[in-house]
Amino acid sequence: MTEGHRITVEQGAVQVRVRHGGQLIAESGRPLVLRETGCPVRYYLPPEDVRSDLLTPSDTTTYCPFKGTASYWSLPDAKDAVWAYPDPKPEVGEIEGYFCFYEVEVVG
């Protein structure tokens, strides 16, 4: 990591929900909470807590020098709304295969 840049990943104890178009897309009481310098807190959800049948794989990928290459999925009417790191950098290896959404509801 570059000086002044930090990423932490910890097991969360909050309940997180993702809704889109009135439909529940994901709900988890065991998200991984990722905090990164200069970025909003992100909740990474285990794949078994996500309705992956509602996700459409995208050709989009992005590269983060701290986390690695992300793959994206789309929801109906929401292109590239979901991402995951299939092979993250070792420093954040816990998030491997977990899904992250731009908009989540923290309910407790």
For the chain, strand residue ranges (E) read: 7-11, 16-20, 23-28, 32-36, 42-45, 56-64, 68-75, 78-84, 99-101, 105-106
Total-model pTM: 0.93
Q: What is the pLDDT of residues 73-107, one digit of tens each?
A: 999 889 999 999 999 999 999 999 999 999 899 98
Residue 31 has, within 13 A of its CA and on its CB side, a CA count of 25
CATH superfamily of 7-106: Domain of unknown function (DUF427) (2.170.150.40)
Q: What is the pLDDT of residues 55-72, one digit of tens each?
A: 999 999 999 999 999 999
Q: What is the pLDDT of residues 1-49, one digit of tens each?
A: 567 889 999 999 999 999 998 899 999 999 999 999 999 999 999 999 9
* Mean pLDDT, residues 50-54 taken together: 95
Residue 11: other Cβ atoms inside 10 A: 9
